[in-house]
Amino acid sequence: MSFPHVITTENPDVVDESFGNETVIVNLASGCYYSFATVPTSIWRSCNECTTVDDVLARHHEPDEASVLQLIQWLANEGLLQLSAPVVDGDIAAPSGVDKFDDIAELLKADPIHDVDYSGEGWPVVAPPTEA
């Protein structure tokens, strides 16, 4: 089966840093961050270097094609890359070798003006209307 789906990884909100065979990725837009072990790191790097899903699959035969496709779709679902069309339908659990952390997501996504607890005071102090 062919997967000519185009992969786009350029996203200023996604910062990835490799440490040997492992990678930490931060999605500044969602507030989630991720730790990738060796295999997902390798596939993530290929996604950044390849144009299509077929190109990625040509590089990775382990663990199997279905698992690679699931990982690529999961990356897309997390907003870490974009696909021209889905390669896997339905919900996908976090793949093996990937840890997702969302403990600071609410904090990073909060609107500093409108989402805070005002304790009834409100922000900012709205000036009374000026009488004409």
Partner 1 sequence: MSESGTSRSEYFESFWRGFEANAAAPTSVLLSIAGVPLRLCAADDELAAIFFPHFSARIIPDDGRACATVRISSGAATSASSTALYAEDDDVIVSYNPAIGQLSLWDRSSLRGVWWIGERRRLPLWTHSVQIAEFVHWALAAGGVAMVHAASVGLGGDGLLLVGASGAGKSTAAMACLAAGWDYVGDDYCALHPDGTTRNIYGVGRLTPSSVASFAELAPSAIAVRTHDQKTVYDIAQHRPAQLHEQLRLRAVVVPALGPAPLPPQLIPPTRAALAVIPSTLGQLPAMQPDSLRLIAATLRSVPVYVVTFGPDRRHAPVQLAQLLNQLPTEETR
* Cβ at position 95, least distance to partner 1 in Å: 17
Separation CA 5–CA 9 (nearest Å): 13
Nearer to partner 1 by C-beta: 23 or 73? 23
Are 78 and 99 contacting, i.e. CB atoms less than 8 angstroms apart? no
29 contributes a contact to partner 1 by CB under 8 A? no
Q: Which residues 6+ apart lie within 8 Å of 72 measured at CB?
A: 7, 43, 47, 53, 56, 81, 83, 87, 88
Nearer to partner 1 by C-beta: 81 or 87? 81
Residue in 1, 2, 17, 131 binding partner 1, rule: CB under 8 A: 17
10 contributes a contact to partner 1 by CB under 8 A? no
123 contributes a contact to partner 1 by CB under 8 A? yes
The DSSP output letter for 5 is: P
